[in-house]
A and B are shown apart, each in its own frame.
Chain A
Amino acid sequence: MGIKVLRAGLQTTVQDLGRYGFQQHGVIVSGAMDTFALRMANLLVGNDEGEAALEITLMGPRLEFEQDALIAICGADLSAKIDGVPARQWCPVYIKKGSILSFGGCVFGCRAYLAVAGGFAVKEVLNSRSTYLRAEIGGYFGRALQEGDELTIGLPAEWSGRKIQKLAEQDAGMSPLGWGISVDVFPNYDTNPMIRVVRGAQFNCFEQESRDEFLSSPFKVLPQSDRMGYRLKGPKLELSEPLEMISEAVASGTVQVPPEGQPIVLLADRQTAGGYPKIAQIISVDLPVIAQTKPGESLRFQIVSLEEAEALYVAREMQIEQVRRAIALRYQ
């Protein structure tokens, strides 16, 4: 009982909101790259927003459901299909025992999140179910999914459990519940997006020309970009004078510039410390946006004040609280 992996896809891992509290021990945060999509997917199926879900990258898996379930797919549009019929995203979908969920071409974005009511029952390691590939811990035996794996589904919340039971009694086929997340609350998802940043601690240590170019030129996302970081290619960014840097903590969205002058954006699987000059820091509400860009796309950076970034952060969280309340009403 659960979900059987018929094909694994490019890189499908179990992720939650991350492994916090252990960076001082050198343990990286991990977690979903697009936390907004993961939170929405979980809320839609009646889970806690931080429940473990599957992060599906570009080429999705082929999954057989061995039990009736309520699922939600949020984030990238990777042409999800249930028994060959296109599946609606950003809304709860009832899926019948024996159905096959598959993915096709990438229509938008880079990472889709699949949540199931009840979550994925994998062992918690250091307070998180996120997969930490290099240390081989968390998630599904510390690794990406492989063909033949069997995922166990946890116990759904009472409301979603009732819903599943009701639809099963009606012998329903695949059925979207007819409501979902409005695009109004989406992050600024876009192809070749504009990403907002605040100044990094060493912003002013860069040549004036480099600062201008950082904020006006497109930067291409290189193929060797991954969950650890995005390597960008654009105009060479140069310091006004050499800088003696001492390693210190870095964050998700830190834009650092190694000596060769091409920026690297640190993301979910970043190391806990870094020693390169930080030209900028992506604001929290735009992290899901960069998480959905893929190699070959271009980014532009736009500077905002810390106060703007904070206001956007709080507004986003209040919006998510509203979504949570609205969903709770739906399930009553």
Chain B
Amino acid sequence: MNCKEVVELSSPYLSRELAADCMAEIRKHLESCPACAGELDQLSEIDARVRDSLLAEPINTTVVDRRVRKNIAPPSRRWISVAASIAAAVVIAVTAYQVSSGSDRTCAAAASDHRVEVVDGERRTWLVDASAIGQLAEKQGIDSSAVRRLASEGFQLERGKLCRLNGRIFLHLVYSSGGGAVSVFLRPHDAAWAAGIRHAESGAEHVAYFDTAHVSAIVVTGQSSESATKLARFAQRVL
């Protein structure tokens, strides 16, 4: 091996990646050639200086590592949970608003009907026959016996007709007792309202409304909110 070949192979020789016999040949040449030996010593020294200098420089991988980990990480369960909670809250809020605003409007319409048609006596076409009212109830999907049961405990069924409250058809029944007339609005249960008896006030009318397994009901009276609640509890039991 001559000097030119040794210089050409200096890089793979320094990185010790030549075949064993080739490495041996170069070593043999270097022993007998001070010029080539000096050349390779100088290259080795340069390599060492570069390596020592650049490896000693501080490298901060924090930013890169954080960015990479953020990008390769699956969506965190915590954020999924937060997102689900937010979504659920929005659904609940929207539903509550719709139910609340819907029931408020329906109750206001019921109170208005009671005021105009029952208290003020504005002329309307009513059914007054209990049997005919029962048939009307059945047509609307309401058990006619429920209409009769409401007439117990001191209440007398006076009349009935269909009406539209907030876009929905209700059976408007008017019962009388010693304390005055009470309107009961019924429609087949559509699960639109929350459980339990709820209250509303509309002008001078007191409104209580509730759901059973079969019907949605609104009780309207001009007496007091306690009376409305008491009547609603009774109605809730018998419906």
Q: Do A and B bind each other?
A: no
Which B residues fall within an 8 A CB radius of A?
none
